[in-house]
Structure 1
Amino acid sequence: MKYGVKKALKKGVLSFENLELKFEYKKIKYLRLKASNDGEFKLSIPLTCTETEVFAFLQKNQTWIDKHLKRFLNAKTSLQKDTIRFLGRIYTLRFDENFAKTRLYKNELLAKNKKDLEIFFRQHALRIFNFYIQKYQLYFERKVSKVSIKKNKTLWGSCNHRFARINLNLRLIHKPLKAIEYVILHELTHLKFPHHQKEFYDFLGQIMPDFRQREQLLKGLNFTHQI
């Protein structure tokens, strides 16, 4: 056996090809494997599933596991300890309580402390997000009723179709403007199409023909050393 998982345990950690995965038995029909942005793999196992079936499932998804592991490792080493991304560009991050406020100076981001740094990011995020919402709002009959900015671990954005509410990830502030613009138009498109079917992407492509390229800007970057 290349891994060990005891069914008597409801949750734990198993080893597979020199990789540790967290597992948990649940009342579900199918095996599910997820990879988080911090390089952690989580495996959900049906209560009736055997060790042999688990092993076969992991082997079948070996390529997918390797791809996500490689992406995480590349992203993890892409930033040095005292650097941070702002709108896609890498800056040297320097904290000093003597700074009056957080500001950009040449290739440095100077911040009084982490709290002040987050205020700086939120102010810029609010200004940028609202700019793009207003830019594309004219394409939609329904108007956005509320915009919320949150620090999510996985979702870049979401749209409550029923109430026309848009939620955007504060960590988008690390991404290039083209990527931010894409996410906002993506969520606005859900005001018209509350799904990801062909009509959704056809409409999105009419407004933003290069949305697939912009989508790639969102992938492959870990949140290590970010807010």
Structure 2
Amino acid sequence: MAEITIGNITLDLQRKPIKNLHISVLPPEGKVRVSAPLKLSDTAIRMAVVKRIAWIREQQADFAAQPRQSEREMCTGETHYLWGRGYRLDVAQGFENNVKLKGGKIVLSSRKDSTSEKRQMILQDWYRAILRKRVEPLIQQWQERIGVKASFVGIKRMKTKWGSCNPSTGRIWLNLELVKKPPECLEFIIVHELVHLLERHHNERFKALMQQHLPKWPEYRRTLNRSPLAFDKWGY
């Protein structure tokens, strides 16, 4: 990976055996990554980036405006999110590890010797179960509406994407962090990834398909972009 500067924007350039150039603006700080075909000249790459400067700066401004959560220590009094709402975390000692939503709080019970990392894992497992329960009917519903079929739908933490789709294999991944965002954000990402099974690129056909199946998708995308970003030690 090479680092180049165009104007006042520094970006990471990756050359890959692909047909088209792709520009990505990555959270949380708006780092720019360009994936370019192996034979594309440096001049052509620079021209492509210059044409997208306004869009790049808009994306970076959106990230800069997003609120950030503080570093998670997994202790009583922290605010953790579920479906767009903040809940106070209560950490208690118990004979087994479990998490419950009780009295407007997230109550996490763990053994006396549990570390913050272990409590984080307990909470992540709880989040994963909740997200999976909501994902399954939504996937079924939207596959039927759109007329596609994913070969696999998985959940994992991803640092730079809310979701991903490999149209060649039909495999879809959803970011575990979606469980913390308003429910319409999850629906937007599910529809977005399923539509990629019909159209690989973010072109006019893709946008038309999104508009056909989920007319409010630009509104849902804005909601997702305004939601608090999780604290993380991001790396690229």
Q: Same fold (TM over 0.5)?
A: yes
Q: What is residue 117 of structure 1 aligned with on the other side?
A: 123
Counterpart selection for 2:98 from 98, 101, 115 = 101
TM-score relative to the length of structure 2: 0.67
1:224 deviates by 2.9
What does the per-residue CA deviation read over 1:176-209, in whole Å, with 9 as the maximum and x for residues that have no partner? Answer: 1111101101111111122222222212211211
What is the 5 A alignment of 1:187-226?
A: 187-225=193-231
Matched to 2:158, the amino acid is N
1:144 aligns with 2:150: yes
1:126 deviates by 0.9
1:72 deviates by 4.5
1:100 deviates by 4.8
Structure 1 residues 100, 178: closer, same or farther in 2, change over 3 A?
Answer: same
Q: What is residue 89 of structure 1 aligned with on the other side?
A: 85
Q: Is this contact kept in 2: 1:72–1:221, CA < 8 A?
A: no
% identical aligned pairs: 25
1:129 aligns with 2:135: yes
Structure of higher CA gyration radius = 1
1:171 aligns with 2:171: no
Paired residue secondary structure (1:219):
helix
Query: Where do 5+ consecutive residues of structure 2 fail to align?
Result: 16-21, 35-41, 43-51, 72-77, 111-118
Counterpart selection for 2:28 from 22, 38, 52 = 38
Counterpart selection for 2:190 from 184, 187, 195 = 184
- 2:193 and 2:14 mapped to 1: Cα distance? 34
Q: Is this contact kept in 2: 1:103–1:110, CA < 8 A?
A: yes
1:156 aligns with 2:152: no
Q: Is this contact kept in 1: 2:158–2:175, CA < 8 A?
A: yes
Structure 1 residues 210, 142: closer, same or farther in 2, change over 3 A?
Answer: closer
1:90 deviates by 0.9
1:214 deviates by 0.8
Task: Quote the RMSD (CA, aligned, Å).
Answer: 4.2
Matched to 1:179, the amino acid is C
Structure 1 residues 93, 80: closer, same or farther in 2, change over 3 A?
Answer: farther
1:147 deviates by 0.9
Structure 1 residues 203, 78: closer, same or farther in 2, change over 3 A?
Answer: same
Q: Is this contact kept in 1: 2:91–2:107, CA < 8 A?
A: yes
What does the per-residue CA deviation read over 1:71-121, in whole Å, with 9 as the maximum and x for residues that have no partner? Answer: 44543x554661121111111123333275111123311223211101101
Matched to 2:90, the amino acid is R
Query: Where do 5+ consecutive residues of structure 1 fail to align?
Result: 1-9, 27-31, 50-60
Matched to 1:160, the amino acid is N
Structure 1 residues 92, 22: closer, same or farther in 2, change over 3 A?
Answer: farther
- 1:178 and 1:67 mapped to 2: Cα distance? 23
